[in-house]
A and B are shown apart, each in its own frame.
Chain A
Amino acid sequence: MTNEHSFAALEINGLEKTYNNGFQALKGISLNVKAGDFFALLGPNGAGKSTTIGVICSLVSKTAGQVSVFGHNIDTHFTEAKQCIGVVPQEFNFNQFEKVLDIVITQGGYYGLPRRVALERAEKYLRLLDLWDMRGMVSRTLSGGMKRRLMIARALVHEPKLLILDEPTAGVDIELRRSMWEFLEKVNATGTTIILTTHYLEEAESLCRNIAIIDAGTIIENTSMKALLRKLTREVFVLDTKEGISTELKLPGFVFRLMDEHCFEVEVDQHQTLNQLFELLAEQGITITSMRNKANRLEEMFVSVLNAPDDSEANDSEVDSSTTQAKGAAV
Chain B
Amino acid sequence: MNMLGQWIAFKTIVYREIRRFLRIWVQTLVPPAITIALYFVIFGSLIGSRIGDMGGFDYMQFVVPGLIMMAIIQNAYGNVVSSFFGTKFQRNIEEMLVAPVKEITILLGYVVGGMTRGLAVGGIVTVLALFFTDLNVHNWWVTISMVFLTALVFSLAGFINAIFAESFDDISIIPTFVLTPMIYLGGIFYSVDLLPEFWANVSLVNPILYMVNGFRFGILGASDVGILQAYVMLLLFVAIGFSSALYLLTRAERLRS
Contact = CB atoms under 8 A, between A and B. Distances in A.
B34 interface: no
Contacts of B253: 61
A76 to B, nearest CB: 13
Contact of B92 (A95, A109, A115, A158): A95
B179 to A, nearest CB: 25
Contacts of A96: 90
Name the prevailing secondary structure of the B interface residues: helix
B1 A113 contact: no
Nearest to A56: B98
Contacts of B20: 97
B100 A93 contact: no
B99 interface: yes
B257 A110 contact: no
Interface in B94-130: 94-101
Nearest to B255: A59
B257 A59 contact: yes
Interface residues of A, number: 34
A93 B1 contact: no
Q: By CB atoms of chain A within 10 A, which of B4, B13, B99 has the most?
A: B99
B94 A89 contact: yes
B256 A107 contact: no
A203 interface: no
A147 interface: no
B9 interface: yes
B8 A87 contact: no
A244 interface: no
A19 B9 contact: no
B8 A93 contact: no
Contacts of B138: none
Contacts of A83: 1, 100
A145 interface: no
A93 B94 contact: yes
Interface size on B, as a range, is 20 to 34
Contacts of B16: 98, 102, 106
Interface string A61-103: 1000000000000000011001101010101011111100010
Given A93-B92, A95-B92, A96-B90, A58 B98 contact: yes
A61 B256 contact: yes
B172 interface: no
B182 to A, nearest CB: 31
B256 A60 contact: yes
A19 B253 CA distance: 11
Interface in B1-25: 1-2, 4-6, 8-9, 11-13, 15-16, 19-20, 23
B50 interface: no
B95 A94 contact: yes
Contacts of B2: 112
Contacts of A20: 257
Nearest to B2: A112
A59 B9 contact: no
Nearest to B94: A93
Nearest to A96: B90
A87 B91 CA distance: 14
Contacts of B95: 93-94, 106-107, 110, 154
Nearest to B1: A112
Contact of A59 (B15, B97, B100): B97
A191 interface: no
B19 A102 contact: yes
Contacts of A110: 9, 12, 95-96, 99-101
A114 interface: yes
Nearest to B92: A95
Nearest to A138: B23
Interface of A: 19-20, 54, 57-61, 78-79, 82-83, 85, 87, 89, 91, 93-98, 102, 106-107, 109-115, 154, 158
29 contacts: A19-B257, A20-B257, A54-B257, A58-B98, A59-B94, A59-B256, A60-B257, A61-B253, A79-B100, A82-B99, A82-B100, A83-B100, A87-B98, A93-B95, A94-B90, A98-B16, A102-B19, A106-B12, A107-B99, A109-B12, A109-B15, A110-B12, A110-B96, A110-B99, A111-B1, A112-B2, A112-B100, A114-B8, A158-B99
The 5 A-B pairs of least Cβ separation, nearest first, read: A112-B5, A109-B12, A110-B99, A93-B91, A79-B100
Interface of B: 1-2, 4-6, 8-9, 11-13, 15-16, 19-20, 23, 87, 90-92, 94-101, 253, 256-257
Given A59-B98, A61-B256, A98-B19, 14 more contacts: A58-B256, A59-B94, A59-B256, A94-B95, A95-B87, A97-B23, A98-B16, A102-B19, A107-B95, A109-B11, A109-B13, A111-B5, A111-B9, A111-B99
